[in-house]
Amino acid sequence: MFFSHNLQFNRNIRTGCRFAYKSEPRSVRDEERKVKPGLVHPLTNTDLSPAPSHGSTLHVAYQGVPGSYSEAAAGKSYPNSEAIPCDQFDVAFQAVELWIADRAVLPVENSLGGSIHRNYDLLLRHLLHIVGQVQIPVHD
């Protein structure tokens, strides 16, 4: 699935997917109150497009290492983008929320293990939306 949100941003500092909060968020609700005032309209086709609105290369976070199926899904979903590998699913979600990445491509279903409940849980905790899907054949 592709995950995104539609706030405008300035990408002055790029650190990859390894980052830390200055302080721990007090709660998810506190974080939502900080972000929601910027959500002035529902998602539009422009928000869902594979090109960034700011004219630079699209940065796509994924969980895994270079060469993984997740990276293949990111490349298939957003050709000509820069893939950003993340150690954990929640780090990929945070990368989009903190404007380190424009999108995240993360699995919600796996042919070997079924539903990936962790990502469903993360969707409830983070302010991202599913905006598409891609299927990658997995061969043993």
CA 69 to chain centre: 16
Contacts of 60 (CB under 8 A, 6+ apart): 74, 77, 78, 81, 82, 83, 84, 101, 102, 103, 104, 105
CA-closest candidate to residue 96, choices 140, 68, 58 = 58
User: Residue 138: what pLDDT?
Assistant: 81
Domains in the chain: boundaries: 1-6+44-140
Whole-number CA gyration radius for the chain: 15
Given this model, what pLDDT does residue 22 score? 37
pLDDT score recorded for residue 139: 75
CATH fold, domain 1-6+44-140, is D-Maltodextrin-Binding Protein; domain 2 (3.40.190)
Task: Return averaged pLDDT per consecutive 10 residues of the chain, 140 residues in all.
Answer: 44 37 46 47 51 73 93 92 92 90 87 76 82 82
pLDDT for residue 75 = 93
